[in-house]
Amino acid sequence: MQDIIIGSHVSFNKNTQLLGSVKEALSYGANTFMFYTGAPQNTSRSVIDQNLTKEADLLMKKSGIDKLAVIIHAPYIINLANQNNEFAIDFLKAEIKRVESLGFNKLVLHPGSHVGQGRVIGINNIIDGLNKVINAETKVIVCLETMAGKGTELGINFEEVKTIIDGVNYKDKIGVCLDTCHLNDAGYDIGHFDKIIEDFSNIIGLEKLYCVHINDSKNELNAHKDRHENFGFGTIGFDNLIKVIYHSKLKGIPKILETPYITKDDTSKERLYPPYKFEIEAIRNKKINDHLIEDIRNYYSLS
Ligand code: FE
Ligand code: FE
Ligand code: ZN
């Protein structure tokens, strides 16, 4: 019997803040969660309300959610690889303070995109940026997410991520987040996950792995696309993803779903309904739900 740590991306809005995020996670039957401290695609952030944080802490304690398993995701427009990365550096410093003041310690960051300057310069900019952000007092572990290789993304294989880690001064404050969709799209076959873990152990070291994003992919192996698909409905498939979640070497590492919301009906484009309650249920049962989409639509259109 293995107790998994499973959750999903949840919202964090300025009125309910962390308390709202915890309630949302619990509504999915999750025992962890991940959130952006504001909208993922912009950098406007509201002041943290410590009363809501205290209430959220009590609720987490009562529900058995370990704060050390909770993940914060930095906004994805932050680009340390850019030549002019002062804004990204300032934002990240403030974001680390927010994470600390909420009482968490893991921040996932997309390494960045070189936007035409080339991989070497881009990676050096990331290293310089991280060394300006992370210092002896930093209490947060910045987890670099491995990327799909869309556009000019950096950190698309274990060697590139290792190069970044090697350049960072405070190595105990840097970690890695794997994403199954990104791995697939970058050319790592999730069907041979033992081999991926072996490579990761040899190149980076398993002690650096703090989080795994669990997503199916809309695209074939090595497509360099990054389009997430619902659990079991993409090219990676249900059984391969289940093996990742229950892998003995990943025990105790939080697994976070970032699968897409479901549309109201087949003709609608608006993604309205979160799939996580039903995906987590299927994961715990280790049995694919062929009626997943219909079940989600029925559940949320009635509630
Ligand atoms: Fe991400
Ligand atoms: Fe991800
Ligand atoms: Zn992605």
Query: What one-letter code names the amino acid at 187?
Result: G
pLDDT of residue 302: 82
Q: What's the pLDDT band for 303 if we cut at 50, 70, 90?
A: confident
Q: Which domains does the chain have, with CATH numbers?
A: 6-302 (3.20.20.150)
pLDDT at 244 over 50: yes
Segment 67-81 shows an average pLDDT of 96
Q: How far is the CA of 73 from the centre of ligand 1 (A)?
A: 7
Residue 106: φ, ψ to 5°: -130, 120
Summarize pLDDT for 150-189 with one digit per residue, the tens.
999 999 999 999 999 999 999 999 999 999 999 999 999 9
127-147 confidence digits (pLDDT tens): 999 999 999 999 999 999 999
Distance from C-alpha of 141 to C-alpha of 207, rounded to nearest angstrom: 12
What does the pLDDT look like over 46-62, one tens digit per residue?
Answer: 999 999 999 999 999 99
Distance 302 CA to ligand 1 centre (A): 31
d(CA 122, CA 112): 8
pLDDT band at residue 1 using 50, 70 and 90 as cut-offs: very low
pLDDT number for residue 70: 98
Q: What is the CA radius of gyration of the chain?
A: 19
Q: Indicate which ligand has the atom closest to the C-alpha of 182.
A: 3
Residue 233: Cβ-neighbour burial (10 angstroms; 0-12, 13-18, 19+):
buried
Kindly give the distance from the C-alpha atom of residue 80 to the centroid of ligand 1, in angstroms, as a whole number.
15
Rounded to two decimals, the pTM is 0.97
- How far away, in angstroms, is 185 Cα from ligand 3 center? 9
175 in Cβ contact with 143 (< 8 Å): yes
Q: Distance between CA atoms of 293 and 287, rounded to whole angstroms?
A: 15
Residues bordering ligand 2, an ion, CB closer than 5 Å: 179, 213
- CA 182–ligand 1 middle distance (angstroms): 9
Q: What is the pLDDT of residue 22?
A: 98
Q: What is the mean pLDDT of the chain?
A: 97
State in Å: Cα 145 to ligand 1 middle: 6
Which ligand sits nearest to residue 257's alpha carbon?
A: 2
**What pLDDT score does 2 carry?**
54
Maximal C-alpha separation, the chain: 53
* Res 148: pLDDT: 98
Using DSSP bridges, classify how beta strands 228-229 and 216-217 pair: parallel, antiparallel or unpaired. Answer: antiparallel
